[in-house]
Structure 1
């Protein structure tokens, strides 16, 4: 019943935006397509109930290296919330094992965010510099956290990113 209600609401709202192409698909088919050929989804906004979003985002996180790399943004008309997809990871709290990339990338989404009512931080240049430092640190592979195959602590990894920012 909840899936039907969600679909009915989507169909109704889509009528208010005739310039936006509306499409529906089953989650299992979308998961298969994203794993085998993600290109058609690169310019789409996908809207789904929370459980389906969790399944899809976890699957995609696995494709790129894990939940520690996956940012999240809940963007509404009047407010937006940015967070790491993986949650708080209390099992590794205080051990210096966490990969802060997801939280950092979520912060970059916030810096670039533009809401429907045209409020935005307009800090694209800063976001680009931080993103470049983080991604080059990962690509370099010298100072990365355990989930990415490295031995660096959270602090060491973060310091490596900050050091790259100082050189930018």
Structure 2
């Protein structure tokens, strides 16, 4: 029996890159059945709402979603659909691998680390209000339960992937209660994993160190806001957001998606790089136990990326989205 997976193509280039990634997955395994639904502006134009109930029910039924980028208006307007999905399904962990690939021009070769971001609280709770016409306040929430849970996930990831060190980043020297609690929680959980090295680094220093020598790090665990910033910065070390996959993981539901945005300026032109979507699909396949298919796709992707003549425009090549997809499918 095929595994049903919710497919959300999203906005902008989402339709192109997500269908490309889904096509590749279909060539690698016959065990997936896609249930395509809408979210974002595409859904708003069709149903009058950014996150239709049909989409929510599909995710609840299937437990696994493969999601494209969704446009979020800046400033006043609609709340982020990404944040809404994470909070609705308690997807407490945002997992972002940072890996360089041969053939892709980037600052660091042979880089392989992972950033684990607490996904359910911090300033992203969105608790804010106006104090006066000239002052606004945002409330930062850090809890012991969420902090210990994400720290434990980081150590379990290190164990599973045979990584020897976990680095917790914080600003506890200034925010002694909130970030202090996050640090204290990490220190407590580290005692359950004496075979894994543990260190903590203040987030501003972490930013500098991650740029100067990222090879010093294997697993980085951070509160929501710091993790968001650091993971985007780290993507720049390996070729940009076009090379950045992610997973949002909860107790029984997980959503896999490329980190980059919807790029409406190039939507429909068939030039978008689907690599981040493909890498997110590989993560998803491994998560659901389709290891063989995941490895087949990853091996094919590595071969294509290694050949400079087979790149999309954003990484120095001339291939369209479709042509890039077809090169991977040939190898499958």
User: For this structure pair, what is the TM-score category when the shorter chain's length is used for normalisation?
Assistant: 0.7 to 0.9
CA-based RMSD: 2.1
- The gaps in structure 1 that reach 5 residues or longer are 114-120
* SS of alignment partner, residue 97 of structure 1: coil
Encode CA deviations 1:111-142: one digit per residue, 9 max, x unaligned.
112xxxxxxx2111111110111111011111
User: Hey, what's the Cα distance between the residues in 2 that align with 1:15 and 1:23?
Assistant: 12
Bigger relative contact order (CA 8 A; separation at least 6): 2
Return the structure number with greater strand share: 2
Q: Is residue 2:229 matched to residue 1:55?
A: yes
User: Hey, what's the Cα distance between the residues in 1 that align with 2:214 and 2:286?
Assistant: 24
CA apart distance, 1:51: 2.8
CA apart distance, 1:73: 1.4
The equivalent position to 1:135 in structure 2, one of 289, 302, 308, is 302
The equivalent position to 2:314 in structure 1, one of 131, 147, 168, is 147
Shift of the 140–79 alpha-carbon distance from structure 1 to 2, 3 Å rule, reads same
When normalised by structure 2's length, the TM-score is: 0.43
User: Hey, what's the Cα distance between the residues in 2 that align with 1:34 and 1:110?
Assistant: 27
The equivalent position to 1:26 in structure 2, one of 180, 202, 207, is 202
Residue 163 (structure 1) aligns with: 330
* SS of alignment partner, residue 104 of structure 1: helix
Count of equivalent residues: 156
CA apart distance, 1:47: 2.7
Larger radius of gyration: 2
User: Hey, what's the Cα distance between the residues in 2 that align with 1:50 and 1:16?
Assistant: 18
Shift of the 7–87 alpha-carbon distance from structure 1 to 2, 3 Å rule, reads farther
Encode CA deviations 1:28-49: one digit per residue, 9 max, x unaligned.
222222222222312x2x3323
Encode CA deviations 1:38-75: one digit per residue, 9 max, x unaligned.
22312x2x332333223212221111111111111122
Runs of 4+ in 1 over 4 A off after TM superposition: none
Residue 88 (structure 1) aligns with: 262
User: Hey, what's the Cα distance between the residues in 1 that align with 2:215 and 2:186?
Assistant: 26
Residue 126 (structure 1) aligns with: 293
* SS of alignment partner, residue 152 of structure 1: coil
